[in-house]
Structure 1
Amino acid sequence: MLQFIRERAQSWIAWVIVTLLIIPFALWGINQYFDGGKEIAAARVNDAEISPQRLQQAFYQQQQRLREMLGANYRPEMFPEEQMRQQVLDGLIEQELLVQTASGSGMRIGDTLLAATIHAVPAFQQDGKFSQQVYEGALRNRGMVPAGFEADLRRDMLTQQLYAGIVRSDFATPVERRAMQQLLGQQRDIGFLLLPLADFVAKAQVSKDEIQAYYDAQGALFMQPEQVSIAYIELSAEQIAKGIKVGDDELRARYESQQANYSTPEERHARHILVRVEPGADAAVDAAARAEAEQLLKQIRGGAAFADVARKSSQDPGSAAEGGDLGFFGRGVMDKAFEDAAYALKAGEVSEPVRSAFGYHLIRLEAVRGGSSKTFAEVREQILAEIRNERAEQQFYDQAERLAALTYEHPDTLEEASRELGLPIVQSEPVTRRGGTGLLANPKLIGAAFSEDVLARNNNSEAIDVGRNQLVVLRVTQHQPEMRRPLEAVREDIVSRIRRDKAAAAAREAATALQQQLQQGGDPALVAKGARAKWQRVDGVLREGAKLDAAILRSVFAMPRPQDGKTVWEQTVVANGDIAVVGLYAVRDGEVVEGEAGAAGDLERAAGEAAFAAALNGIRAGAKVTRPGKQQ
């Protein structure tokens, strides 16, 4: 449709089509037209589709999580793009299968639970309370909108509901519990030596032929990803609002006409005594209740403390024990007759008996708060922002329609829209499909920049909704296809890689020779000394809390029990590439304590996880999953 308009933008039919588009813009909102055309699904799961946009959004979110987790240590080359994209797609397919299964089982996430979950997130709160503005801002910073986030969260909560239902359904037998305690409390006596990889790296030599051969064989490691430079114009209500001028007369008129909006509602703190009258009671019962209330009022006016009389005689189970204390309340909370009486009292006064739907009340007013109005000076900036935002929003929708029309009519330039609407054209640095920073971290913009219509046909993008009342139209100004970086640019990296590979091989060879000496009965301390290493003996190693490298610890508890007093020897690679030669001397099982819940809980969780994995495999086996479009 849009290509058809562009090709005929100067003909009468273009104006007819644009007019037909503008009418539903006005009636239904412009956002429905900014989501792009139909694209090949990234995957189909039974009858549901996973769109390329959804995959891109999830991919972007995964990148963000990795950046936050690793901080300054994050490097894009650590996570090959295609591999990570496929992993993300696998996760979306799994989630869709779980959502379909949960929905088919009648599970639902209601609006109330969804809202409560969102409101409880600290990142969406201000001064300890949920803030809609903070919420929308936090999502906008991640290139998300509330509707999309809430839909994703609802799906996540639904899958968690299914997960919990399966995982928590398993249990452990007494025999399994005892075995688990023995394993969890198991202690192992070990010794080990470390061969530093750095010692072998320093000795590794690399020739020119090896560098060239590595470059030729491992070319994929040195590819510079496809890049585009982007020019874009941004239309936002926030920017429009900054240019709107409002006079003091208008501000004061708004203040006077809406003064209630700038006042603190009055609240009253009261105590009460209730003499209950059941619904439908006859006149005699009603009269008796009133007489009882009047008798209690007489006691209070005779000097009895209101709170003491309430504790003894009030028939309100919710407040009697608190001396009838109801705390602070505003209008519209209490029974109308009760409210009117409470608001007619002054602090310290006690009412006559007041008839409500529940019976007769005696009310004592303890305190009054609120009810004051802010001065014009106090709320001037607030009123200014309100009026600016109202006008900016209307201007935004008017200009958005014009922006859409101008960029359709002039598909090969942003100049016309920029000149007529007064919006600057911003030129970006080159970005890859992984996105950039600021606005260019938004997956919608990156998806548009690399779309066929924008990249291959060199057209303007459609207006892209990137936040509340915020649109962007972009075009590609320069395209750099994926290419292998020159050898000279990556030479040092290749030398480093080859040296490390050679060093790792030499270290393994040395470790194997040392392991053979130890297996033949060599003294560990002497063997370590001969290798310029240090032998370290550690007894009573536990699975949890041991101050050992994680790789050594895993290796220790994977080694078989020593037989006939013979030490078991193995080698393992630790996190920094050093190689450890490890000896296991003895194994002692943990103590069994009958009735101990911890081991049972661990075992039941493990059994539950296994049950969930089996259920997921069954769901996968019965599903029809296809991947029509491979994402680049």
Structure 2
Amino acid sequence: MLESMRNHAQGWIAKVILGGIALSFVLWGVGDYFTGDQNPPVATINEKPIGQNEFYTAYNRQLDSYRRMLGAQFSKDLMNSLNLKETTVQTMVNRYIMIDTANQLGLTAPQAVVLDAVQSNPSFQAAGRFDPQRYQILTRNMGFASPQEFENEMRINIMVDAVQNAVADSAQVSEQEIREAFNSEYEQRVLSAIVVDPDSLIKAAKVDEAAAKAWYESHKESYMSPVRIKLTAVEINPAEVAADMIVDDAELRKIYEERKADYTEEESRKASHILARVSGDASQELRLAARAKIEKAEARIKAGEPFATVARDISDDPSASNGGDLGWFKQGVMTASFDQVVFSMDKGDVSDIVETEFGFHLIQLDDVRAEKTTAFSAVKEALRIETVERRAADETYKISQDLDDALGMEGTLKAAAESLNLKVVNIDPVSIDEAIAQPLLYDAEVRSKVFATSPGQAVEILDAGKGRYIAFEVLERIEPEVMEFAKVAASALEDARRDEARKLAVKLADEIRGSSESLDTLAQKYGQAKFISKQIRSNGVGDQASWLTRDLLAQAFRAPAGSWVDSSLSVPQGIAAVRVEKVIAPEEKEFEAQKASVTTSLKKAKGQARFARWMASVRDNYEIVVNEQVLDRF
């Protein structure tokens, strides 16, 4: 593809350094980036605008992508923490710069390349071949006015992707770099550690009130009161609705008669068979042999041998080991000719020879269970409960819809609920933990939703599960504030003491690292735990022990064999003094086996770094302005 593009623009890669992240049209949709939006732009590049409408489309498609990926864990707060708005606009800027530079050079992707990309795309294929009708439908569903518009957008993406790949693929790696990368990944080490448990030093940690107050002053963010919410709520509970419902026996009898088939078990039969297997398209010779086999079985049964004995001896079916027993089955389960014979027999009968697509059979009817209908009296109470629950669920849903309609006419949840004679519950300010004690807020999802809501937001009616609906209106939100020292003095004292114990643990681990004594001696001397790893690689492969953290491995793989790691390290068990016991170099045959994959990974990483530098240098040639005030609206 790149060679074809070179043929249409001689030496264009050598003329200019292009950079940018090529966002696909699947994400961004259709159209020019610069549509003449009359509102203030989100950003400009050399005074050319990225409009609000376009940014809105791109940003929301990014949000939708994260929603699908994260499910219930998705939140706007999380997206804000990922700086998604800024990332989106900067990516759009990068794409514009690449398109603009390419246009200045008169670069295009040949039509043949575009058509090849379209026709080889599995999304546009049916039965492994390009389907023009499917192509038109899908491109229209993607928002393109015509396939030609899709191809124009694709032409840009092909060009941009080819440039990006050309830059990244130009990265070269030396044999030494490959060897160093391989050694870094495949070298193994055995590590040991003495881990000092800070809890073991709590008694030695001396902290007075003044120290606790100093700790509090420097860590006030840890002593904030929780968010508290004051709200009104309404519960629509099917159990309460059902309590007032009455269904008399006459109505239940009518429902029973209408659904009698649900309470009727069809006749079923238990049969055994003997099979002389032969396919329908077998030769005449094979069919005659199979027929002779089943006739011999028939003769033995007529002579008085038990059916099961003959089945075990002759049958070609897996059921032979069970005497040909097929178990219980209802009419219509077996193949038609077999089924017809079974359901025309009397208990204990043995059939004449029956032919099916599987071969020749002899069938014995072992038992019959007649059709049975459960009496009304046996199902009446269960039917009453089911009917009441169903009607209560329907009525509960209807009430929720009535409440939703009432909210459109009344100013508050309280007024809307009272217009429908629904009970309103007033909940005084509670924290999210305290809310667990509130029956209406016990459900975790309901609590989460309530505490994500601010006063003045629209009343929501939530599906709380099991047919329940809960509507709530937040009246007041009391934001966190620093609690007075007097209220948290005990907690601050404990926290300061634990911090002091941790400092003592670091000091003790540092002392251990200065020793040349054996690990066993050190563990016994200081009364702390000893740990020894299995052979482990820098990525953790080989030993999943929790004390082998990513930071610990990173530092331990920089230290020489027989030495302590330069600093004491925090691990889940405490503060670790770590020593490298052994370094195991990877074998040469492993290098040869992994060389290709290591080279590919290394080239990819260097290519990405080169492309990032490239993009940064190109951006310097453009005046890029992001309108933060406009961006904050989204």
TM-score category by the smaller chain? 0.5 to 0.7
Normalising to structure 1: TM-score of the pair?
Answer: 0.55
2:462 corresponds to which of 454, 461, 464 = 464
TM alignment of 1:168-567, pairs within 5 A: 192=194, 194=196, 199=201, 202-206=204-208, 208=210, 214-274=215-275, 296-310=297-311, 319=319, 323-354=323-354, 361-369=361-369, 371-418=371-418, 420-421=420-421, 423-428=422-427, 430-431=429-430, 436-437=435-436, 440=441, 441-443=443-445, 446-447=448-449, 450-451=452-453, 455-456=455-456, 461-467=459-465, 469-509=467-507, 511-512=509-510, 515-516=513-514, 518=515, 533-534=526-527, 558=556
* Partner SS state of residue 465, structure 1: strand
Q: Is the 8 A contact 1:264 1:372 kept in 2?
A: yes
Normalising to structure 2: TM-score of the pair?
Answer: 0.54
Shift of 1:334: 1.5
Are 2:53 and 1:57 aligned?
Answer: no
Q: 1:51 to 1:414 in 2, by over 3 A?
A: farther
- Note the residue ranges of structure 2 that are not aligned, 5 or more in a row: 1-54, 89-120, 125-178, 537-541, 616-627
Give the partner amino acid of 1:404: D
2:582 corresponds to which of 572, 587, 596 = 587
Shift of 1:384: 0.8
Q: Is the 8 A contact 2:263 2:374 kept in 1?
A: yes
CA RMSD for the aligned pairs?
Answer: 6.1
2:568 corresponds to which of 569, 572, 585 = 572
- Aligned-partner Cα distance in 1 for 2:288–2:521: 104
- Aligned-partner Cα distance in 2 for 1:473–1:502: 49
- Aligned-partner Cα distance in 2 for 1:280–1:514: 84
* Partner SS state of residue 344, structure 1: coil
Q: 1:381 to 1:239 in 2, by over 3 A?
A: same
Give the partner amino acid of 1:44: Y
- Aligned-partner Cα distance in 2 for 1:488–1:629: 43
Give the partner amino acid of 1:241: A
Q: Is the 8 A contact 2:202 2:501 kept in 1?
A: yes
Q: 1:359 to 1:57 in 2, by over 3 A?
A: closer
- Aligned-partner Cα distance in 1 for 2:281–2:70: 64
- Aligned-partner Cα distance in 2 for 1:475–1:496: 39
Q: Is the 8 A contact 1:228 1:432 kept in 2?
A: yes
- Aligned-partner Cα distance in 2 for 1:427–1:239: 19
- Aligned-partner Cα distance in 1 for 2:420–2:544: 69
- Aligned-partner Cα distance in 1 for 2:488–2:551: 37
- Aligned-partner Cα distance in 2 for 1:215–1:309: 90
Give the partner amino acid of 1:245: I
Q: 1:470 to 1:275 in 2, by over 3 A?
A: same
Q: 1:251 to 1:180 in 2, by over 3 A?
A: farther
Give the partner amino acid of 2:464: V
* Partner SS state of residue 64, structure 2: strand
Q: 1:54 to 1:415 in 2, by over 3 A?
A: farther
Q: 1:557 to 1:409 in 2, by over 3 A?
A: closer
* Partner SS state of residue 382, structure 2: helix
Equivalenced residue count is 465
Identity rate, percent = 23
* Partner SS state of residue 568, structure 2: strand
What is aligned with 2:26? none
Shift of 1:526: 9.5
Shift of 1:372: 3.8
Q: 1:55 to 1:476 in 2, by over 3 A?
A: farther
- Note the residue ranges of structure 1 that are not aligned, 5 or more in a row: 1-39, 61-80, 94-103, 108-174
Q: 1:377 to 1:52 in 2, by over 3 A?
A: same
- Aligned-partner Cα distance in 2 for 1:53–1:270: 52
* Partner SS state of residue 235, structure 2: strand
- Aligned-partner Cα distance in 2 for 1:580–1:274: 73
- Aligned-partner Cα distance in 2 for 1:233–1:247: 31
Q: Is the 8 A contact 1:200 1:507 kept in 2?
A: no
* Partner SS state of residue 351, structure 1: coil
Give the partner amino acid of 1:533: Y
Shift of 1:252: 3.6
- Aligned-partner Cα distance in 1 for 2:550–2:329: 63
